[in-house]
Amino acid sequence: MDAIPRLILRALCLAALLALGCVPAGAAPSGEVDVLLVVALDVSSSVDGQEFDLQREGLARAFESPQVARAAASGARGAIALTVVQWSGFQEQEIKIPWTRVSDGGGMARLAGAVRAMTRRYNGGATDIGGMIAYSHKIFAAAPFSGARQVLDIAGDGTNNVNRSPHFDRDLARAEGIHINALAIAAPPSPLPQYFRDRVIAGPGAFVETAPNYPAFEAAMQRKLVREIGGQLLF
């Protein structure tokens, strides 16, 4: 894509997100970060209320961990930018926490607080992994920061059950330079981790983290964030 059309697309996407109240008014590019990270949480019908609460609290605690804070500050630019999205079925994706730049433990703690304040957007929906991947293009295009890497972090407890196989959208994302990792919430010997490897993840070094159940979500998300942000596993 030529530079001018890309800038036009970026501006249109940012305007759309502003209209939805997803990006603070006046947001503009404000420097480079090491990673642009989209954290996408499954809120489809397979996730009950208690499981959603465990997922939300697990993400908040993962953000609060010293290991994740150190990883966020460890890159060449000393900062990352994150946004949190909830997703379910066809055209059911919503940004719950807009792009936020973080560079230390204080920033991660404030982000954790925003996660705890999140309400659930969807209930009873299908599972459209490919739709979430496709939606990520718009999110990255509207980012008010410039990132050395673009990473989509998808957490889910089931396979795609609406629209086409997610590998089609995975391939399109890979061609655009979007890196995709996944967190499979499934007890062994579930085939879900392999499904994510075959049809969802993309990019050099892409990986699937696993949590055998929702109580284990926090530890799995913490490991995953440290690994994909680029820090070392310091456990």
Give the model confidence (pLDDT) of 54-104 as tens digits: 999 999 999 999 999 999 999 999 999 999 999 999 999 999 999 999 999
At 231, the pLDDT band (50, 70, 90 cuts) reads low
Task: For domain 3-23+32-229, give the CATH number.
Answer: 3.40.50.410
Q: What span, in angstroms and rounded, lies between the C-alpha atoms of 148 and 47?
A: 33
Cα distances (Å, whole numbers) of residue 91 to 128, 173, 193: 8, 17, 24
Q: What angle do CA 190, 193, 198 make, to 5 degrees?
A: 125
Mean pLDDT of 131-139: 98
pLDDT one-digit tens code per residue, 140-164: 999 999 999 999 999 999 999 999 9
Tell me the domain boundaries of the chain.
3-23+32-229
Determine contact, residues 176/137, Cβ cutoff 8 Å.
Answer: yes
Query: What's the pLDDT at 209?
Result: 98
Write down the pTM of the prediction.
Answer: 0.86
At 132, the pLDDT band (50, 70, 90 cuts) reads very high
Helix (H) or strand (E) holding 182: strand 178-185
With a cut of 60, say whether residue 179 has pLDDT above it: yes
